[in-house]
Structures are given as structure tokens and as C-alpha cells.
Structure 1
Amino acid sequence: MSISRRQALLMGAALSVSLTAGACGSSDDGGSGAEPLSDADLRAALKAGGSITVWSWNEPMKQVAEDFMAKYPKVKVDLVNAGTNTDEYTALQNAIKAGKGVPDVAMIEYYALPQFTLAKSLADLSELGADKLKSAFTPGPWNAVRAGTDGVYGLPVDSGPMALFYNKEVFDKHKIKVPETWEEYFAAAEKLHAADPKAYITNDTGDAGFTTSMIWQAGGKPYTIDGTDVGVDFADAGSRKFAAGWQRLIDDKLLAPVTSWADEWYKGLGDGSIATLVIGAWMPSSLQSGVKTAAGKWRVAPMPQWESGAAKSAENGGSSLAITQASDKKTLAYAFLKYATVEAGVQTRIDQGTFPATTEHLGSRAFRNKKVAYFGGQRINQVLAESAKQVVPGWSYLPYQVYANSVFNDTVGKAYVSGTSLQQGLKSWQEASVKYGKEQGFTVK
């Protein structure tokens, strides 16, 4: 992601889910049963021209849209910022329900995509030929845009394979070795805070996206999805592994009580009182723009492992571009999607700080060998690209994950401010998620 991280990761208001919600409008070209689009079809649509409306809060998308229109002057892209994540999702859901004002294309984060897919609000892009693009994307983002055995409901815009961002100056000062395992990380947390009571290994006041990503890396699969049959189980081995380990940091008060993306957080990242972040690969641009005083101090290392010698990672954040079922300009919209996600638009976004989801760019020598001055000249993309290959397969989000994330602070979040344990908080989160799912008509266990 290259949008405001503060907004992108906030847990917003819940969106309602309706299992009976259908698409508004009708499909034109590339509807159900149509032959997949050929390159000739796309060229013809671009030559004929027309106007499409794209909802996106992503700043680099402005340049992508301008370049696209310059290349195809008969096409007009009306780029609209309808709000960031849940604000946009609420507006999109309302427009679909009303049957008017629905955009042709919408940016939707991976965790929210299942909600719109299940409600049949998005076009199946496999009917437009998107299933042929599997090899163009890394496994994590590609899995996130798929549903069922064949359906593709978005094309990845970016990705967030996780890594350890650390302040080398702080580590060197206190003679702390870069941790390769979580056990070493917990030991480093103790050593750092003992040496400087104002310094913490990291901050955490409770974040749904971080928690699910950590469980993901630990091998947890708390969500099982089969159509409208849903399972929620935070007592699985991966969830318990994360909860037990992270509880040690909470119990020993080794986490900075600072909320991410707040002014105090940026200050801590700059002055060394927050020494690491375990976060997605989109973070470099935020450090470079928001923590300029720490230029040259930060480095990137692989995500610590639960088992020594393992090489497992997870995704943290990331977005797709989807075509709404209501759009009557699906061919033109799909041409824009391809341009933005697998063609020239990818490099445009990389140049503005986006971490790509495309195998071509992640594997390119120029991308991997780029030295980043902010990180002391380190070739950080080598670490981040390897992480993308190591994402644990098989992760699923709930078809109402937007709602689930909105009640995280009322459940798991209590573990950070009371005597409630993380495992107890996860159980409460599970119960709330099960209850809501049943109320929405899902079969939940």
C-alpha cells in the first residue's frame, strides 16, 4: 500500500452483510457465459473509447490514470476518492443497494474483498480472462483475489509481505543481535528495556490486521470458508502459539503503549524509543516520508521465525482493483485494470513507493538491487521480495472481516488494558464473530 498507513490499517465501522444482496444493473461485454476477452477485444474497446469511474484512495493511482488517458486519449477515467477503506466500502455498499452511483472500478483491500464477492457485487474477472494472469502475481495476493475454484474478483494492486524493520543504531548501541527467531526477539525486548527503560522493542496497543498476520505466519488458520458455511476457531495451534508468545511482552510491559500512526508513534520511530516494526513491505515509503530524522538508521531483516531455520512469512495489508457487477463498461474497465496492475502502471506506482505484487517486478535485477539511502544503502527489496515467496499458503478471511475487525478492540484489545489474556480476548473475538455471522444468515461453527 502506498496510501496513508494510518487510514489504511484503521478498523472502521462495520458494514452489514446480506447473503441475498445481488448485483445492480446488467453486464454488457464479458458477462456470464461470454468468451474471455482477447487482446483484440481490449484494443477495440480502447480505440472506441468511453468513460469509466474508478474509486480509489491510492495517491499513485492519479498518475496511473493520467498516463492511461495520455496513452488512450479517447478514454476518460473519472478518478474519485470516495473515502479510505471502510468509508469507501460503506459508500460502495450504499450505492449498490440504491442501484445508482456505482463505480465501474473500486479499490478494495484483500480482507474486505470476500464480503463484496459473496454478495455478488463484483464481476468474476475470470470471465474476462483474468484467470490467465495467475503467474503474473505472487501467491499471497493472487490467493486473496480468488474465490471458489475458478473465480477471480480483483487484480492485485500491491502486497505486504512482512519483514522486521529495525533501528540499527539502537541495536548497535545496546549490542543487540538482529533476532532470527521470536524467542530471540523476546529476549531482545527484555535486554533493550532493561538497558533503557524509555526504549521498547516495538509498540502495540491492539491491531486486528497485525494479529491476524502474526497468526497467519505462525501457521494458524482460524477461518474456514466454504460458501456460506463459516468456521471460526482461535484455539488452533497457530493462534495459541502467537497468543502465548506475545503475551510475554504484554505481561512484562515490554511494548510501547503508543498507537500506530499517531504523532507519538512517528516520534518514537525517530528518536529510537521504538526500535522495531514487524510490518508489511509497504512500510519503507512511510518511514522515508514520516520519519525523516531517522534516515540512515533503519534496516530490514527477515521476519523472526517460530522455529529456528524456518522461512515463513505472512501478508500484512494490500489492495486490489475490482470491477463492479453493475458496470456496463466491463471491457474498458478491465483494460484499465490490466494497465494498472500488470502493465505500465505497475512501474509508475513502484516509483511512488508502492510495493508490487507482480512476479516480474519482484524478480527483476533493477528492483532487487536498488540501494535505498534511507536504509543505509541496503538493498531492502531483496529481503522483501524473498518474504513474498515465503508467505504461508492457505489463509482465508471471513466474508464479513470488516465487521470482525471493527469489534477487535472490544474483545482482543482488552488484553492490552486489563487482566484479560490474549487467548481469552481471541475467544471473545471468536464468539462475537460467530454471533454476527449467524445473525447475517451464515452457517457458523
Structure 2
Amino acid sequence: MKLLDMKKTMIASAAAVAMIVPLGACGSSSETTSTDPKDASGEITIWGWGNGMNETIAAFEKAYPKIKVKYSSTGTGADTSKALNNAIAAGKGAPDVSMMLSTDVSKFAQEGSISDLKEFGANDMGKDFAPGIWGQAQFGGTTYGMPIGGGPMVFFYNEEVFSKAGIDTPPTTWDEWYEDAKKIRALGDDYYITNNAGDRDSYSEFNAMLWQLAAQPFKLDGENLTIDLTGDKQVKKFIDFQQKLIDEDLVNTSIRNWTDDWFRSLSDGTTASLAVGAWMPTNLESSSGAAKGKWRAADIPQWDPDHPTNAEDGGSVFTIPSQSKNKAAAWAFINYATHGDGAQIFVDHGNFPALKSILNGDEFKNATNEYFGGQKVNEVLSRAAQMDSSSYEFLPFSTYAQSIFGDYISKAYQGETSLKKAVASYQDALIDYAKEQGYTVK
């Protein structure tokens, strides 16, 4: 899966039209009972998206000749989630294996729509994966998905612009970052340390920053859902920090992520840095080529340098829908694609690795990147993925939460209201929606 495709999937609208699932995509009626992958046989269907899927499936069928795969490309993460919802509501039609955004795991797990993978030994595999990436596959203390890849937060910066502003080294704390923001802003009217328009495309970074702060604004316990963006002390710390940046004009609030203006600003250095997922290098190389040799990667700045932590900005997993008729064969594929030889195939096609064995491998870590001036960027990315990470629980309707995020939060970044008031209004909207979905909200 291309890293840009993974990021674009994260920001896909909840209003995306549901995929029309082909008849061949229904769960197989052939079932094997053993949980050992080598004993699996029969036919399975898979829903997913992105590069590397066809190649991984071909390699899997060669390694497991008794299993036949029918694959349906379901467009995006939002499309796949909606199609799976439709199949669940209908009581039939779900695949044996479904790719899923990590942010959707809690929703499908708590309603019993995807299988607990502990019977296959998945709970014992966590030590083999990067901690933040693995954490996104968990719900209620057990494993519901196997990670395909993730997006540990990394600090990417234009070394040339930083040097021009008199900054010799990248910031190690967010307080240092704030001081650097003022120096870069002094370079001229167009220069900012970063951009943030508070729109829906900044939703994932919003959650990642709360995650790094160890905030816990959301908690699901059965039908009881806690939504506490206004009372959580760590969320307040983030809001106050962002409000200071807005008030002092230290972030560019007029440029949205993933737009032509954004990539132009990354090319000419007027947007001088990004705190974003480790999938970003490919996007810079493909869309901001004029800045080749100027960008570098560094560890994400810390709130508490004595206790460094990180967070995830993106990720996807493979799950087994509860409707599957051949869970043993489904597990055989998932195990191969995420914990076996297939994991390297996904990495070879642009996916950020989840397995420590790949992250720590010489081939991955020692590769130099000419776009980043010959830096061994993967050393930084590997370190970011394996940094300590607290747990963070997403809303069980994260796709919807993202779809309305900009309607409320962007008003603060455009100076129409305070961020504190914007977040409070956003929280009210989330609570109203949660109640409509049948949750008891605290």
C-alpha cells in the first residue's frame, strides 16, 4: 500500500458512497476447523485497498496451495467500513478477511462484528510489533486485528530554512519548537514553522498530539461512552498551546494539508516543518521535488524530555469478520501477510513496517535517502516506531468524527472563535451523535 494512499484513506469522508460488493465477495461456505495455518484449506474472500495486495495474495496462494483467494478492492478505508457495515446489518455478505483502518477497530470489536484473534495465538505476538502500531489493534485487552502498517510521529524539517533562521539543530521539546517558530516567522511574511487550518484533514494529527500527551478523552465500555475533550487536563494543555500559536500568528492557518498550495509551500520552504506520520517521506519526494536535499528527519519533540513518548498518525489492520465461514484459512492469510513473509512484500510496495524484525533490519535502517541529503532516514523512523507509547482509544465512530471536525475546529484557526469554545461545540456534536447511535454518554 502506498504511503500516500494510506494517508489519503485516513482522511476519506464518512459520506463516501458505499461500495457495490460483487457477489463473489461473500464469505466462503467452505470451513476448516483447525487454528493451525498449515491445516487450512478452502476458499476465502478478502476486502482491502492499496498497493501490495495483489502481490501478497499471489505469494500467499503459492505458499498455501490448498487455499484460494477472491479479492475485492474496496476503494478506501471509509468505503470498506461502510460496505462492512452494510453486510453486518444485512446479516450476510461480509468477507472472510477485511482490511480496516486502525481507528475503526474499537467500533467493530465492541459490537462483535469482528473476531477476537486470541484463539489463533495473536495475543502472544505483540512483542514482535512496534508498540504504538500494535496498540491500535487491541480492544478490551485482546487482539482484534493484525497490523499491516502504522504511522509513528516524526519531525520533518527543512534544514536550509532552519539554518537561515539561525536554528542549528531540530527542537527536542515543544517549548523549543515554539521558540523556533518565532525565529522562522521572522524570516518574512510567508514563512511559518508549519501549517494548521483546523480542517478535517488535520483530524488525525489532532488525535496523535493528544495521544502523545497521554490524554484520554474517549473511553468505551459496552454501551457506555465517555467523551471528555473539555475536562481532560492533557487536552486542555494542547488547546492552550495551539491557541498561543494562533494568537501569535506562528502557524499558517490558510493552507490545508494535501492541497497544491501545501506541497508548493513544502517545496519552497515557506512551510518549514511537519510533525506527522512516518509515511511522509514518499509524499515529499513525489510532490515536493524542488526541495530535494533540503529536508531532514528527527525525533518528534517531547512534552516531557525525561519521559519521551510517541503516538501513531495512521495505520491499518487485517481483521476476520464474525460472519466468516472459514476463519482458519482467513487467519492463515492474515498471519502470512502481517507476521510472515507477506509483511516484507507490503513494505516493498511502500507500506511502513510494523514488525520489529523489519524495523531493526540492516537493509531497512541503513538505507540512505538522497531526497533527505543522504540521511539514513529509516534509522529515525525505526526509532520513532519503537519509542514508548501510551494507550489511546479512538471514538467508535471515528470516521464520522473526522467528517465534522473541520465544521467546528476550523472556526478557531480562522479567528472566528476561541479553540476552547470550538472544541466544546465539537464535543456537544459528538455527544448528540453518540446518543443517536444508542450510546449512554458520560
TM-score, L = length of structure 1: 0.89
SS in 1 for 2:85: helix
Matches of 1:25 and 1:65, distance apart in 2? 17
**432-441 vs 73-82, which deviates more?**
73-82
Residue 219 of structure 2 is matched in structure 1 by 224
**2:97 is the alignment partner of 1:105:** yes
SS in 1 for 2:103: coil
Equivalent residue in structure 1 for 2:351, among 354, 379, 390: 354
Residue 331 of structure 2 is matched in structure 1 by 334
1:266-309 Cα distance to aligned partner (Å, 9 max, x none)? 11111111111100111122222222222221111111112344
Residue 165 of structure 1 is matched in structure 2 by 156
Q: 2:4·2:279 contact (CA, 8 Å) conserved in 1?
A: no
**2:48 is the alignment partner of 1:81:** no
Structure 2: tracts of 5 or more residues without a match: 17-25
**2:284 is the alignment partner of 1:287:** yes
SS in 2 for 1:299: strand
Equivalent residue in structure 1 for 2:235, among 226, 236, 239: 239
What displacement does 1:154 show?
Answer: 0.8
What displacement does 1:409 show?
Answer: 1.3
Residue 108 of structure 2 is matched in structure 1 by 116
Q: Counterparts of 1:256-405 in structure 2 under 5 Å?
A: 256=252, 257-405=254-402
Matches of 1:309 and 1:199, distance apart in 2? 31
**2:409 is the alignment partner of 1:412:** yes
Equivalent residue in structure 1 for 2:171, among 179, 185, 198: 179
Q: 1:8·1:84 contact (CA, 8 Å) conserved in 2?
A: yes
What displacement does 1:194 show?
Answer: 1.6
SS in 1 for 2:149: coil
- The 3 A distance-change label for structure 1 pair 302 and 27 is farther
Matches of 2:14 and 2:180, distance apart in 1? 36
Matches of 1:122 and 1:133, distance apart in 2? 19
SS in 2 for 1:202: coil
1:197-237 Cα distance to aligned partner (Å, 9 max, x none)? 11211111122111111111122111122222221111312
Q: 1:200·1:275 contact (CA, 8 Å) conserved in 2?
A: yes
SS in 1 for 2:151: coil
Q: Counterparts of 1:12-51 in structure 2 under 5 Å?
A: 12-13=13-14, 37-38=35-36, 42-45=37-40, 48=41, 50-51=42-43
SS in 1 for 2:391: coil
Matches of 1:209 and 1:109, distance apart in 2? 12
SS in 1 for 2:150: coil
Identical positions, percent: 40
One-letter amino acid of the structure 1 residue matched with residue 293 of structure 2: G
Q: 2:263·2:288 contact (CA, 8 Å) conserved in 1?
A: yes
What displacement does 1:162 show?
Answer: 0.4
Matches of 1:401 and 1:44, distance apart in 2? 37
- The 3 A distance-change label for structure 1 pair 280 and 293 is same
**2:429 is the alignment partner of 1:432:** yes
What displacement does 1:28 show?
Answer: 7.4
Matches of 1:319 and 1:372, distance apart in 2? 25
Matches of 1:294 and 1:350, distance apart in 2? 25
SS in 2 for 1:399: coil
Matches of 1:98 and 1:225, distance apart in 2? 25
What displacement does 1:402 show?
Answer: 2.0
TM-score, L = length of structure 2: 0.90
SS in 2 for 1:255: coil
Matches of 2:361 and 2:49, distance apart in 1? 28
Q: 1:223·1:398 contact (CA, 8 Å) conserved in 2?
A: yes
Q: 1:26·1:326 contact (CA, 8 Å) conserved in 2?
A: no
What displacement does 1:6 show?
Answer: 5.3
What displacement does 1:425 show?
Answer: 1.8
Matches of 2:275 and 2:117, distance apart in 1? 33
- The 3 A distance-change label for structure 1 pair 6 and 393 is closer
Matches of 2:157 and 2:193, distance apart in 1? 9
Q: 1:28·1:330 contact (CA, 8 Å) conserved in 2?
A: no
- The 3 A distance-change label for structure 1 pair 286 and 77 is farther
What displacement does 1:26 show?
Answer: 10
Q: 2:27·2:44 contact (CA, 8 Å) conserved in 1?
A: no
One-letter amino acid of the structure 1 residue matched with residue 157 of structure 2: Y
Q: May I ask how many residue pairs the two structures share in their alignment?
A: 426
Equivalent residue in structure 1 for 2:127, among 113, 130, 135: 135
One-letter amino acid of the structure 1 residue matched with residue 245 of structure 2: L
Structure 1: tracts of 5 or more residues without a match: 16-23
**297-306 vs 430-439, which deviates more?**
430-439
What displacement does 1:338 show?
Answer: 0.9
- The 3 A distance-change label for structure 1 pair 163 and 28 is same
1:365-384 Cα distance to aligned partner (Å, 9 max, x none)? 33222222221121222222
Q: 2:30·2:43 contact (CA, 8 Å) conserved in 1?
A: no
**2:256 is the alignment partner of 1:255:** no
Q: 1:159·1:319 contact (CA, 8 Å) conserved in 2?
A: yes
